[in-house]
Amino acid sequence: MRHALPFVPQFYVTAPQPCPYLDDRVERKLFTALQGDAAVALNDALSKQGFRRSQNVLYRPSCADCTACYSARIRVADFTPSRGQRRILRRNADLAREASTPWATEEQFRLFRAYLDERHADGGMADMDIFEFAAMIEETPVRSRVVEYYRDRETGDGRELSAVCLTDVLDDGLSMVYSFFAPQTRTHSPGTYIILDHIAIAKEAGLPFVYLGYWVPGSQKMGYKANFAALEVFHDGDWHALDDPADYSCEPAINGREPISDQVAGIQLPDLAHPGVTPK
């Protein structure tokens, strides 16, 4: 009789490359493949430890001389929108939300291209074609949803796609993998609205957290996440309330980051022989 060996994830490190968030910095990522029957349990467990998903890969910053990227999440039960965020909710009250299985469409891709060309023309995704876009949306080994937001056309002739968010459903929350929106709607603060709406979705579903990706103090692209109440950031192996963003620095780490072997040794893996069991 043949017995299948339990799946044990292997961790690797990317080659150094220019940091997309802070000038004159070099980034490096620790990553592992996300596959097989254990994919859901592994995604749930590692998301709680600061990892993010990109298609079938889980990754976490592992830069040698910098620790400025903090995985961020919102405590749904403790969140109260600010006055400005309440205005954003009213400003986008005409948006209609639709959630579906992860399936890429040409309409999504046109919106994605317009978003990149306006806001991230020199970013790492700038050259993505429709096939790469489809892979980003559809290649997911976990429970994912595409959340679309539609607005009626001013001409009264039907409606148009205004924003999209690729979202993972974790055992303890929603993880916003990637979102984009029509550039001409930026005065309505659609990025903030999508986060606020995901907080509402999580609350309705009884999920305690909304995972936002990485908050980077000193980064114009990523600093906005500190504007949300009840925000937590992951560092030193645990989640901490972000009471004062000024307590966190984007300066290079004095002592550097711990060796890769120690980082991997500190990762808590789920019971992959029984994938439904995850660490607390």
CATH code, domain with 122? 3.40.630.30
Containing structural domain, residue 94: 72-245
Q: Identify whether residues 122 and 107 lie together within a single domain.
A: yes
Q: Identify whether residues 89 and 54 lie together within a single domain.
A: no
* pLDDT on residue 1: 46
Q: Identify whether residues 129 and 60 lie together within a single domain.
A: no
Distance in angstroms (rounded) separating the CA atoms of residues 215 and 29: 16
- Distance, C-alpha 111 to centroid of its chain: 19
Position 273 in a domain: no
Q: What's phi and psi for 263, nearest 5 deg? A: -60, -45
List the structure tokens of 168.
Answer: 């993972």
Q: Identify whether residues 77 and 29 lie together within a single domain.
A: no
61 contacts 69 by C-beta, under 8 angstroms: yes
Cross-strand bridge partners of residue 152: 159
Position 274 in a domain: no
Q: Identify whether residues 98 and 177 lie together within a single domain.
A: yes
Distance in angstroms (rounded) separating the CA atoms of residues 257 and 110: 40
CA distances to 43, 64, 129, 255 from 252, in Å: 29, 9, 35, 9
Angle at 188 between CA 81 and CA 23, to 5 degrees: 85
Q: Classify 70 as helix, strand or coil.
A: strand
Position 18 in a domain: yes
Cross-strand bridge partners of residue 33: 57
Give the burial class of 55: count Cβ atoms within 10 A of its Cβ; 0-12 exposed, 13-18 middle, 19 or more buried.
middle
Q: Identify whether residues 165 and 139 lie together within a single domain.
A: yes
Position 151 in a domain: yes
Closest CA to 232 of 41, 25, 79: 79
* pLDDT on residue 251: 79
Q: Identify whether residues 41 and 163 lie together within a single domain.
A: no
Residues of the chain short of pLDDT 50, as ranges, are 1, 3, 5, 278
149 contacts 180 by C-beta, under 8 angstroms: no
Residue type at position 272: L
